[in-house]
Amino acid sequence: MPDRIPSEWAPVHRVNNLEQLTAAMEKWRAAGIIGVDTEANSFFAYHERMCLLQVSAEGEDWIVDPIELGDDLKAIVPLLADPSIIKIFHAAEFDLMILKKDLGVEVRGLFDTQVAMTLLRHDKTGLAALIQAYYGIELSKKEQRSNWGKRPLTEEQIAYARIDTHFLVDLHDRLTTELQEADMMGAAEGEFRRQENEILVAGEPDPERYRKMKAARGLDGETLARLKEIFFWRESVAEKRDVPLFRVLANQAMIEMAKIAPTTIKELAEIKGMGWKQAKRYGDELLAAIGSANGKSIEINVPKVSPAERKRRRLLRENLDEMRTWRKEVARELDLPSERLMHRRHLEAICRARPQSSEELNAVVPLNDWQRQNFEASLLAKLEQLPDPDQS
């Protein structure tokens, strides 16, 4: 962020109530194209939520406050869902997810400047790099992990937030021209529609997540039982205090605790990542959680796999490796990043289904026009070569 917002910029509009939001939406609809961004409190809360919504249109910037607006913010849903109004995001995936989670809206009319940049073979695709390249403005990273849920917002936060969308409409115009000149508009549109239709879902708490911790592999049943109790203790404390899990207790400290099985506050305090302050604050609760695992053991099931099943799984892995290699080679020929050729989830679905015709392929993953023109034939030829794991 520059030291100050340029004096020629219009004053920022603050939107804190429904009347202000309604007036702002009239301008956005009239413009027909808006830059959009969100800020969340991911590093400061257990229950992540959208804390800021930024919008820019026709050279003006709005800072919309979801906390002040509450349910009144849902008045924006029809506008966000209207495909005739272009919404420009940069790296839209998280924004689309939190807008759907908090407002129940699936954004339509998407244009993602980061997608456009990768298709145009930019070496750097971050928003800061984009603004530096096109406008010569160097952005500060000072507010990147700001607590957006805290009020009042500082002037520095507001300046940082508005600059994230201020240039997006102009960037859309520039990047659209470049995409058309490079004959990549079809590829971009295909990816925008995929993003609209494959919005990620915010993860639900997984009762087996403690088993999936990397450091939990190889633990014996009794240690795993202690880890489970510590894990769920941390989950309950984080939820009650509405803070991220790592702000209660680090993963590595939980693992060490489960291994050592401390019985005193002193032993707790000596565990790396704990310390006396945490030990005094949570010691009694943690010792109770660890003690509740005494005499318990979690069975570590290693399911038996037949030779035929092992062979089938090996062929599936090998087929997927072959498909990844194919994607890399085609991407190299087209001078594109692999992920812009075809999304990983699509590649995996196609590999599992092994479609053998255009009709079968598009029933598994509907290719866009650009994909059909550039590599459908090559993809089908590759699929034809792959062995069928269920027939081998």
191 and 74 both lie in a single domain = yes
302 within a domain of the structure (yes/no): no
* pLDDT score, position 4: 61
Rounded-to-integer distance, Cα 165 and Cα 89, Å:
8
Spatial strand order in the sheet of 110-112? 13-15, 60-64, 50-57, 33-40, 86-89, 110-112
Residue 133: inside a domain: yes
Q: Rounded CA gap, 62 and 57, in Å?
A: 9
pLDDT number for residue 216: 84
Number of domains in the chain: 3
Determine, yes or no, domain membership for 135: yes
The residue out of 246, 264, 291 marking a domain boundary is 291
Boundary (domain end) residue, out of 228, 263, 291: 291
Q: Residue 292 carries which side chain, given as an amino acid letter?
A: S
Assess whether 172 and 23 both reside in one domain: yes
Phi and psi dihedrals of 153, rounded to 5? -70, 145
| CATH label of the domain that carries residue 171 | 3.30.420.10
Q: Which of 234, 261, 291 is the last residue of a domain?
A: 291
- Tell me whether residue 236 is in a domain: yes
Looking at the structure, do residues 65 and 158 belong to the same domain, yes or no? yes
Are 259 and 355 in the same domain? Answer: no
CATH number of 265's domain: 1.10.150.80
Residue 296 included in any domain: no
pLDDT of residue 301: 73
pTM of the model: 0.90
Nearest alpha-carbon partner for 348 in 322, 312, 385 = 322
Q: 190 and 214 in one domain? A: no
In a domain, 301, yes or no: no
Which of 83-104 are b and which e, b meaning 16 or more Cβ less than 10 Å from the residue's Cβ?
Answer: eebbbbbbebeebbbbbbbbbe
Identify the domain containing residue 169 by its residue range: 13-197
Q: What is the mean pLDDT of each run of 10 residues along the chain (392 residues)?
A: 70 97 98 98 94 98 98 98 98 97 98 96 89 84 87 93 95 96 96 95 78 85 95 95 94 95 96 93 96 92 84 95 97 92 95 96 95 96 94 72
Query: Does residue 260 lie within any of the structural domains?
Result: yes
